[in-house]
Structure 1
Amino acid sequence: MSTPAFGLGTFRLKDQAAYDSVSQALDAGYRLIDTAQIYGNEAEVGRALADSGVPRRDVFLTTKIWIDSFSRDKLVPSLKESLKKLRTEQVDLTLIHWPSPKDQVPMQEYLEALADAKAQGLTRAIGVSNFTIAQLDQAIGILGAKEIATNQIEVHPFLQNRKLTAHARTRGIHVTSYMTLAYGKVIDDAVINEVARRHGATPAQVALAWALQQGYAVIPSSTKRANLEGNLKAQSITLDDEDMKRIATLDRGERLANPEGIAPAWD
């Protein structure tokens, strides 16, 4: 099973809100669910999946290893704990959530530990998140490009991350876009609204279609059934060259995910 192009993100969703969002998304037809150890909602995701009636084999489940579990003796046990919370024997994809700050744990150590988790059958595929060009190249040197299923990075119309996405493409690394809706800022943008009117679509659908047309996977989140269903319809929208050119002009390097002490030196 390759990584689906469209899924549900669960960042910032807690407790019942997380359970309800995943439940509604699965009912609406989502088959990729993205979570992480640091989100604190793996148990709710697992419970929603178990209660949904959707066969586990039909859902692509992603989690991410937090920076406090990168050492060789911690990574695999932390993933096993995630599996317990998610109520599954194996996830489909496990990512390194952020590169180790200031290389406190050497990349070789945590990527080899991640590869070991795959060898043990705890995860079907492995990848990275928030890796820069240099870090991606280093990871490729350790694992080989074929072993890196994706680099999950912030990409939206106001941060198009062109250097990194172009480099990933040349190295054969798939990109997953997170925050594709820029925390909802796309909804108020005049250009995106104009493109949306032309297509009889919503601004959110246009932003998602823009990312999908560039070959990125997208994982928007919502707690509202109408938005969950509306976002899915982005897959049937085709933007023309003029639309894409106009959205290209919106790039202003506006980075929204930049945690102090954790974020790398961005490209």
Structure 2
Amino acid sequence: EKLVALCSTTLYQKMRDVLTKSHGEEFAGMAIEIVAQSVDHLNAGGAEALTRRLVGAVVDACGDALKQLKGITATFRMTNKPTPTRHSHFVPNILAPARTFLESPSTTSLSKQTRRALARAVADGVCAKYSALASELLATVKKTEASLNKLKDRKAAAAKEGAGASASATTTKGGGDGDGDGGELDGDDAAAGAGSAQQGPTDAEKIVAQVTLDVREFGAQLAAMGVDPASRDAFKELWAVAAPEGATF
């Protein structure tokens, strides 16, 4: 960006003056045209490729903190911890490399428009990485929850069947006239007992709640970095992955 500006304002004129004196005006014009084409190529292609590599490196650095996302499952899976009410400790650190990059002297010397474009590119890249990791995590959580529910259903059915058989045997021994007050559970009571432990939010619901809180805080961090999360498609996709249906940011 600085090179292009320098060429446009200073270099071309100096080249024209020097080359016109030494080789004539026609030669000077041809030389400037060749240099201008090279600068335009750098501005259109080379600079863009360099920017992509630079943004990619910053996004990868931000991804290091996102690796801690997997720890959410261990925090709530079969630990009886309450439903979370605040974001995870690692969330404010996700964009730390991006902030360092955007606040560095080499970046702050760029135009405001360029800095804004860089911030948005980094934000979109981190959102995409976050979305992929969150999607994988939640898919695994849902699959595990479904397997656990099937196991609980089988246990509840077995308990109901066993209680029914026990009640039948007790009735037979008692001559069939008892009112069933001998302390045995009937099938419905057994099923209710098997399901009584599953009151309140499930582990999966707690994990979803934590991921939602984290993404909400991540959106606030984006806003603090100068990127409006609600205006970025990449963040909208992340929110759609992380938040329960109907939840608004």
Same fold (TM over 0.5): no
Q: Of Structure 1 and Structure 2, which has the larger fraction of its residues in strand?
A: 1
Flag the structure with more relative contact order, 1 or 2, with Cα contacts below 8 A and sequence separation at least 6.
2
Shorter-chain TM-score: which interval? under 0.3
Q: TM-score of the superposition, structure 2-length normalised?
A: 0.25
Q: TM-score of the superposition, structure 1-length normalised?
A: 0.23
- Higher Cα radius of gyration: 2
